[in-house]
Amino acid sequence: MQHKVQLSFVVPLYNEAQTIEQLITRLQAVLNTMSLPTEVVLVDDGSDDSTTIAMNAIALEDARFQAVFLSRNHGHQLAITAGLKMARGSKAVLILDGDLQDPPELVQAFLEKMEEGFEVVYGIRTNRKESWLKRFAYFSFYRILKQFGNIYLPPDSGDFALLSRKVVDYLNLLPEQNRYLRGMRAWIGFKQTGIPYERDQRFAGKSKYSLKRLVELAYSGLFNFSSFPIKFITRLGVVAILVSLAYLIYVLVSKFIYGNVPTGFTALLMAIILFSGVQLISLGIIGEYVLRIYQQSQGRPLFIIDKVIKDQTLINGQELLP
């Protein structure tokens, strides 16, 4: 099968025991309709439930499924990266979350768009079924990226996308430790287009993207693909200067016109808090850049593979080392 695969599905999974059975059922139904030789690369991101058991079973039973087991929980973006490294599709690779919010059945529509000459076809989320707070946060984040981004990042597009083999090969060359794949996808360029779709609710269970993970992902988008943090420091400094000048004018007017100079601890305390806050925020943003440079300079591998089941054969991760 290794030399025949033209299309790969890459599906990262983390503690999806409640979803994986339905996921496999729907993927098999899609595979049965495909005219292209197709594989599914399931990537376990360090699950501690029965997700790994189900992955083992389907990969040994159905040669169209490849199971990749990471050594620990590396995070969603790196799990996708591992899947892209292992995907063998010579024509294209579809990235698909394992919670069934992104319908695998859309692959045919994506392929039709790719036949029109597009190298990347991404999904544009409409009518999201999350809480109003999450929807507002996503909406604001994408608009900030659009306003301050160094490249054009399509609003409301996620990782759900069909990538040509050429784009996947270039993605695999990019060495970022703090990965923001939809930004990297846009940075690579080539002809890209989006297809609107209604994103479903999770089939079962809870989202594995905690608030901390979402903030880390947002940081990667902002720091890697926009000038917003640096411009924020500049604008914060300008605001601090303007506030100081306004207060200075107030003091001078009070002294020379009204003969009353503000005195006491309150004015001093306000000035200290204002400038200390500005300095701490600025140091935090600069520190974030320094941390990312440090992490990149360590040169560690992006992920470690424990084992792989490919073509119904178990392979130890060490055998995959260069």
Q: Where are the domains of the chain?
A: 7-206+301-320, 228-297
The rounded percent of the chain whose pLDDT value lies above 70 is 87
CB 6 within 8 A of CB 111: no
User: Which CATH class, in words, describes the domain spanning 7-206+301-320?
Assistant: alpha beta
Contacts by 307-315 with C-beta closer than 8 Å and gap 24+? 307/69, 308/66, 308/67, 308/68, 308/69, 308/86, 309/55, 309/56, 309/59, 309/60, 309/66, 309/67, 310/59, 310/66, 310/86, 311/1, 311/2, 311/63, 311/66, 312/59, 312/60, 312/61, 312/63
CB 15 within 8 A of CB 207: no
* pLDDT tens readout for residues 76-132: 889 999 999 999 999 999 999 888 888 999 999 999 999 999 999 998 888 766 666
**CB neighbourhood size of 113 (10 A):** 17
The angle, 0 to 180 degrees and rounded to 10, between the axes of the packed helices 228-256 and 211-225 is: 90
Is the pLDDT reported for residue 208 higher than 60?
A: no
pTM: 0.77
Question: What pLDDT is attached to residue 209?
Answer: 57
Bridge partners for 218 per DSSP: none
Bridge partners for 161 per DSSP: 95, 122
Element (H, E) at 173: helix 165-173
For the record, the structure tokens of 168 come out as 């996947």
List of E strands, 36-82: 38-44, 65-70
Is the pLDDT reported for residue 223 higher than 90?
A: no
